[in-house]
Amino acid sequence: MKEFAYRIRTLTISRSGTWLLETLLASSIMLTLFPIFILKAVPAFEHQQMTQFIESLTQFLEDAQLAAFTNHRKVYIEFDNNKHEVFSFYSTFERLNNLSVPSFVQVEKGSLPLNFYFSSSGGISQAGTLLIRSKNETYQITFLLGQGRFYVTQK
């Protein structure tokens, strides 16, 4: 019986001493796994920003087209990759609006140059496509002839 009581007493004493080791082990595991979770979260964050930018760009282009139609003036659109901005302005260089482009996004010409205009009737100067790229995603904006219709697809 003495031997059994001694074993229980030694187990409780040594058990209380392992609390620090268990905590250090759990902390080291968490610190090892945390960067892996962060690396997986960054693409999701960039995807969210890209989606918001595409929605903002769509609204920006629709507003520019509406301004051209309602004011009966040409509205020019220009993509500036160096400043990471999109500008809209009238033919008198009177700035209408601008939109910031995220730093990880690159707008490239497809069959449409990076500057075009909406005519006073709301139609686009020429039909074509623009490519919007990030590290992991590519979107294509297709502008149709006629009343300036366009749509966005993910490639």
Distance CA 106, CA 15 (A): 58
Mean pLDDT of 8-23: 62
Could you say which DSSP state residue 154 is in?
A: E
Using pLDDT thresholds of 50, 70 and 90, give the confidence band for residue 1.
low
CATH classification number, 2-154, choose in 3.40.50.1100, 3.30.70.100, 3.55.40.10, 3.40.50.450: 3.55.40.10
Give pLDDT tens digits for 101-111.
999 999 999 99
Q: What is the pLDDT of residue 75?
A: 94
- Give dist(CA 106, CA 104) in Å, integer: 7
Contact 88, 118 (CB under 8 A): no
State the pLDDT at residue 118.
92
pLDDT tens digits along 29-86: 888 877 777 777 667 788 899 999 999 999 999 999 999 999 999 999 999 999 999 9
pLDDT-derived band at 23 (thresholds 50, 70, 90) equals confident
| Mean of pLDDT over the chain | 85
Residue-range domain boundaries for the chain: 2-154
Tens digit of each residue's pLDDT (9 = 90 or more) over 100-154: 999 999 999 999 999 999 998 888 988 999 999 998 899 999 999 877 789 999 9
CB 87 within 8 A of CB 100: no
In angstroms, rounded to a whole number, what is the distance separating the alpha carbons of residues 60 and 100? 11
